[in-house]
Structure 1
Amino acid sequence: MHQALRPPRPGTVLAALLGLTLSLLFTVSPTSHAATARPLAAPGMAVAPYEYLGWGSPQNPTSVMAATGVKWFTLAFILSDGSCNPKWDGSRPLTGGDDQAKIKAIRAAGGDVVVSVGGWSGAKLGEKCSSAAALAGAYQKVISAYGLKALDIDIENTEWSNATVRQRVIDALKTVKANNSGLKTVITFGSTTGGPDSTGVDMIKRGADSGLANDVWCIMPFDFGGGATTMGTLTTQAMEGLKAKVKSAYGYGDATAYAHIGLSSMNGKTDDSGERVRVADFKTMLAYAQQHHIGRLTYWAVNRDRACGSGSDGDSCSGVTQQPYDYLKVFAQYTG
C-alpha cells in the first residue's frame, strides 16, 4: 500500500482503519483461486540476482554485496544426481562443501539466498522423480538443508516440454508450501515478446486450477530471435502479456496480478546472435517494476556482469562494454 488513510484520531480507530484498508486493497473476488496478494517478502529477495558458483569464474558473493548493496542472491542450479536426489549441478553435495560455505558467508554479511532448481542443462528432478510426492521430497531436502525462505523452479528444456512433468512440479510445490509456512515460490520460464507461449499459459492455468498459491510467475524475456535490440520495450511488452494471463487464470485484480509476476533478464549479449540487453534496457525494466510493483526483478547473471577479457566466454562476461556490476547497480535500486 502506497499511502495509508489518516483518520481523525489515533489509537484503535487508526488500527482498525488500516486493517480495513489493507483488506480492501489486497482481497480479490471470492471466485478467484487465491485470496490475497503475496509478493516476495522483501525488496532484496525480489531482486536476488542469479549467481552460479560451479562455473563462469564466480565472484565472491560478499564482494558483490559490498560493491553493489545487493543483499540476496539466487544461487543456481540444483539438479538430479541421476536419481530423485538433489545436488548442486547434479554432483556437489548440499552440505559440507563450498556452496554451503558461501551461503553461510552471505547470511553472515546480512543477506540471504533463493535457491534455483533446474535450468536448461543437466538432469532434471522433475523428470527423475517419478511422482509429485517424491519430487516434493527432493525439494524439501534443499529447503531443509538451508532453512530456505524462497525456492525458484527454473523450468526449461525437456522438463518444460512434458505436460506430465509440469503438473508434477505444480503438485510438488503445493506440498512444500503446505509443509513450510511462509515459503515463497517462484516459477521461472521462457517467453515470447507477447508474453507466455501456449506452454506457459498451460503452466499458469495448471497452477490456478490446482490451487497453487504461487508467489511469482517469472518470465525470461530474451532469446526472442531476429537480433532484437529494443529489449527494454520488448520486455515490458512481454510482462504485460504475462500479467494478463496470470490475472485471467487466478481472477486477480490488476495490483495483485502485478505483485505475482516477475522478470529474469539476461545482461549483455544473449544466446541469440545479435540480441543485446543494454544497461539502458535495464533502466526501462526498473521503471516498469517501480511503476507496477512487480514481484521479481532479476537477471542472468552476476558472473556475466563485467566486460570480457582475452579468452573470456559468455558464462563469465557480458560481451558488451561496461564497468563491473553496471547492470546489478540498476536493479539493486528496486525497493518493491
Structure 2
Amino acid sequence: MGKLRKNLLAWAGAGAAAACAVTMTAVPALSTPQPEAAGVVSASPYLYNGWGNPPAATDVMSATGVKNFTLAFILSDGGCNPAWDGTRPLDGPDKQTIDAVRGAGGDVIPSIGGYSGNKLGEACQDAQSLAGAYQKVIDAYGLKAIDVDIEASEFENEASQTRVLEALKIVKEANPGLRTVVTFPTLIAGPNDVGKRMIDKAAELGADVDVWTQMPFNFGGSDMAADTITSTEGLVAHLKSALGYDDATAYAHAGISSMNGKTDTGETVDQAAFQKMADYAKEKGLGRFTFWSVNRDRPCDGAPDACGGIDQQPWDFTKVVAGFQG
C-alpha cells in the first residue's frame, strides 16, 4: 500500500528459516464452488495484524456494519511457502481473526504481497509452484477470493508479473467460483506502462482477473477525489481497450483502494473526498471500493500505524466502505 509499508515488512522473511520450495504437478480443485464471493471482494477494508495494536475486527463490525475485511499480508517464509508477514503460520493468530469475523457473520479476503518483504511471486520459480502456494492459503481458510497486491520489484519485473498472472489463472480454473483481485500502484492518468503491460498480458493469457484495483495515492494528487476518479477512468479505458469490455463490464472489473487521512507523500484523503470516491464507485458500479487501513481509521496522536493523522471519529472511513455494495 505504498511507502508507509517500506519498513513495516522489511524484517519479514529476514529472520525466518528458509523453507523448501513447494513443487506441485497439479492443483487440486475444491469439491464445491465458492458462493457469494462478490461481497467479500467489493467492500472489505484492509486490516493489518502485523502492527502492535490492531483493532478487534468484531468490534469494528459492530460499530460500523462492515462485514468483510482484507487481511494483510501473506508473504514468502523464505521459500515458496506462504506465511503471514513471512513469519506467522497459516494456523496461527491470523486464523483466530478469520474465525472471529466469520463467527460474526462476515468473511475475509487475504492480501498476498504488499510493498515490502519477500514476495511469493519472486520466491516461487514457476507458475505451477506459485499456484501451489496460493492454493495452500485457499485451502487453509476455504476462501471465496484472494487479492494479490503486486508492487515494487514483483510488479516491475516482467517475469514475476507474468508468473503471478499465470498462477492466478491456474487457481481460478482449479477452484470454481473463486474470485481474483489484482491490486497495484497507478498514476493520476491511470495505469503506468508497467500496469498496462500487466493488463495486456492478462488478456493474452486469459487470466480472467475479476477486479483490477488501483491504489490512487502517493502520485502527487492535489484534489484526491477528482484525481482518483481521473485515474479510475484511465483504468477503465485500458480495460476496454485490452479486454474488449463494454462500459458496464469495464467498471465492474475496476476497483479503488485509497488511503485514509495523510498518505506517505503528504496528500490528504479526508472524509469528504472519500465519500465522493464512494459515490462515484456506486454510480459507475465498480467491482471494489476499499482503503488502507482500518488500523489507521481512528483519532490518535499521529502515529502512522494507529491513525490517519486527520481530525476524525473512529471508523469514519470504514463506515463509508460498509455502505458500498458494488
Instruction: State the TM-score, normalized to the length of structure 1.
Output: 0.85
After superposition, give the CA deviation of every residue in 1:236-266 in whole Å (9 maximum; x if it has no partner). 0000000001111110110001000001000
Which of 254, 260, 279 matches 1:267? 260
Conservation of the 8 A alpha-carbon contact between 1:149 and 1:182: yes
- Give the corresponding residue for 1:256: 249
- Give the corresponding residue for 2:285: 293
After superposition, give the CA deviation of every residue in 1:14-41 in whole Å (9 maximum; x if it has no partner). xxxxxxxxxxxxxxxxxxxxxxxxxx84
After superposition, give the CA deviation of every residue in 1:283-336 in whole Å (9 maximum; x if it has no partner). 111111111110000000000001222xx5212210111000111111211122
2:123 counterpart of 1:125? no
CA deviation after TM superposition for structure 1 residue 158, in Å: 1.1
Which amino acid is the alignment partner of residue 282 of structure 1? F
Which amino acid is the alignment partner of residue 304 of structure 1? R
- In the alignment, the residues of structure 2 paired with residue 234 and residue 47 of structure 1 have an alpha-carbon distance, to the nearest angstrom, of 21
- Give the corresponding residue for 1:172: 167
2:188 counterpart of 1:196? no
- Give the corresponding residue for 2:226: 233
After superposition, give the CA deviation of every residue in 1:93-138 in whole Å (9 maximum; x if it has no partner). 001x211011011001000000000000100000000000010000
2:58 counterpart of 1:62? yes
Give 1 or 2 for the bigger CA radius of gyration: 1
Which of 283, 287, 291 matches 2:275? 283
Conservation of the 8 A alpha-carbon contact between 1:119 and 1:154: yes
Instruction: Say what the alpha-carbon RMSD is for the aligned residues.
Output: 1.1
- In the alignment, the residues of structure 2 paired with residue 305 and residue 51 of structure 1 have an alpha-carbon distance, to the nearest angstrom, of 10
Which of 66, 86, 89 matches 2:85? 89
Which of 143, 150, 155 matches 1:148? 143
Conservation of the 8 A alpha-carbon contact between 1:74 and 1:116: yes
CA deviation after TM superposition for structure 1 residue 44, in Å: 4.8
Conservation of the 8 A alpha-carbon contact between 2:79 and 2:123: yes
CA deviation after TM superposition for structure 1 residue 43, in Å: 3.7
- In the alignment, the residues of structure 2 paired with residue 60 and residue 101 of structure 1 have an alpha-carbon distance, to the nearest angstrom, of 11
User: Structure 1: which 5+ runs fail to align?
Assistant: 1-39
Query: Secondary structure at 1:42's aligned position in 2?
Result: helix
Which amino acid is the alignment partner of residue 238 of structure 1? S
Query: Secondary structure at 1:92's aligned position in 2?
Result: coil
- In the alignment, the residues of structure 2 paired with residue 156 and residue 272 of structure 1 have an alpha-carbon distance, to the nearest angstrom, of 17
CA deviation after TM superposition for structure 1 residue 45, in Å: 3.3
Which amino acid is the alignment partner of residue 305 of structure 2? D
Aligned residue pair count:
291
Conservation of the 8 A alpha-carbon contact between 1:231 and 1:281: yes
Which amino acid is the alignment partner of residue 146 of structure 1? Y
Task: Provide the identity percentage.
Answer: 56
Which amino acid is the alignment partner of residue 285 of structure 2? H
Conservation of the 8 A alpha-carbon contact between 2:37 and 2:145: no
- Residues 56 and 245 of structure 1: CA distance in aligned 2, closer, same or farther (over 3 Å): farther
Conservation of the 8 A alpha-carbon contact between 1:84 and 1:125: yes
- Give the corresponding residue for 1:22: none
